[in-house]
Amino acid sequence: MKVHFYTESFKPYLSGVTVSVDAFSRGLTTLGHEVTVLAPRYPGFQDSDSYAVVRFPSLGTRLYPGFRLAWPFKRGHWRWLQRHKPDIIHSHSPYQLGYLARRLARKLKVPFVYHFHTLFTDYLHFVPLPRCVTEPLLKWIIRDFCRGCDLIITPTPVVKEILRREYGVTRRVEVLPTGVEDAAVLAARPDGIRAKYGLSAETPLLMYCGRASKEKNIEFLLRAFQKIAAQKPDTRLMIVAFGPHAAALQKLAAELNIADKVIFTGRVERARVYDYLKAGDLFVCASKTETQGLVLSEAKACGKPAVAIDARGVSQMIESGVDGYLVPDDLEIFVQKTLAVLNDPAELRRLSAGADRNARAKFLNSAITKRLETLYNSL
């Protein structure tokens, strides 16, 4: 089967969408399918993947530094497409490349799949226009885009329900989370990471990994950690993140007088993220905008339970009391639950075993990609 993935977000830009596209591409390639990813060009970046990548001209944007907008016109693309006709066109974006992908699927008379990764209304703070204007317009764009889809995929049931209820989407919707790379988790080695930052093996270490941006609510984690460190002074918080909000977060850590206890790693190569996750004791997450919270499944695959705010996609990723805890959006409750887990080694071991067990049962990429293959075959 020939599958073409159209995506606005791809390497070297790191996001949940980038990780998802890469994981599905690798998984389908392993199953013997021919995958081509079509994405924006990043000047100076060279692709070196096991699957094909075609780059479109792109422009930088001030709204989101580091992200590039694809220009959906590429000389000779239609002729190339006729020579490499796909069996499935699968878009991971409803914007420039998404509309191009939908139009090409119609023209080629092949099934068109849309992967709804992002609750776009949670990112309207990046748009310098009133929300009363942008939110209805955005929902109309998504609804209109979905009308032309043969299949829509969401990462969690709660997001499927949001598409139905809030966006008014009526086309076929199926749920399929992004999987975690089996081999990458097995190969991960945390050796040396704690020593690199002057931490002993006994130092209680909280971990956050993701993008340093406003919608991730990392300020909440810093304020919670201030209270945690006051009661358990040897604890450290490691923030494995980069992004437009990084400087503001470092400034807040200094204002809270916890800068000496918070480790900002900056950008970490994607291949090493699992090493860092394995080096921690407990993952913490305060984001309320996730459609899945992919990093939670990655943490679980590394045997790390999580304490997280009970919100949207995150609520689907943690079995509270089994592989972590979901708590209300309340700073004191978050702090007390985190401390309760850190102060009880037997509880931490129990939750870690649950995290590992649930990740193997639900989130390994080999099994999830087989489910994607089944969905393709149903079209």
- Mean pLDDT to the nearest integer, 69-78: 93
DSSP letters of 192-228?
Answer: THHHHTT--TTS-EEEEEEE-SGGG-HHHHHHHHHHH
> What values do phi and psi take at 40, rounded to 5?
-65, 150
Q: Which residue has the higher pLDDT, 194 or 313?
A: 194
Tokens matching residue 194: 């704690």
- Please, what's the b/e burial string for 165-187 (b: 16 or more CB within 10 A of its CB; e: otherwise)? eebebeeebeebbbbbbbebbee
Equal fold, 2-179+364-377 vs 182-362: yes
Let me know: does 369 contact 31? Beta carbons within 8 Å.
yes
Nearest-angstrom CA–CA distance, 75 and 77:
6
Nearest-angstrom CA–CA distance, 64 and 335:
31
Nearest-angstrom CA–CA distance, 164 and 222:
35
Nearest-angstrom CA–CA distance, 86 and 65:
33
Asked if residue 63 has pLDDT above 70, the reply is: no
Asked if residue 124 has pLDDT above 80, the reply is: no
- For domain 2-179+364-377, is the CATH number 3.40.50.2000? yes
DSSP letters of 233-293?
Answer: TT-EEEEEEESTTHHHHHHHHHHTT-TTTEEE-----GGGHHHHHHH-SEEEE--S--SS-
Q: What are the residue ranges spanned by the domains of the chain? A: 2-179+364-377, 182-362
Asked if residue 62 has pLDDT above 80, the reply is: no
Span 14-34, pLDDT tens digits: 888 999 999 999 999 999 999
Asked if residue 6 has pLDDT above 70, the reply is: yes
Report percent pLDDT > 90 for the chain.
85
Q: Which residue has the higher pLDDT, 211 or 109?
A: 109
Q: What pLDDT does 7 receive?
A: 98
Span 140-151, pLDDT tens digits: 999 999 999 999
Asked if residue 220 has pLDDT above 90, the reply is: yes
- Mean pLDDT to the nearest integer, 76-93: 96
Nearest-angstrom CA–CA distance, 269 and 274:
10
Angle at 92 between CA 91 and CA 97, to 5 degrees: 60
DSSP letters of 300-362?
Answer: HHTT--EEEE--GGGGGT--TTTSEEEE-S-HHHHHHHHHHHHT-HHHHHHHHHHHHHHHHHH
Fold for the domain defined by 182-362: Rossmann fold (3.40.50)
Span 179-205, pLDDT tens digits: 998 888 999 999 999 999 999 999 999
Classify residue 76 as left (phi > 0), alpha (psi -120 to 50) or beta: left
- Mean pLDDT to the nearest integer, 167-175: 97
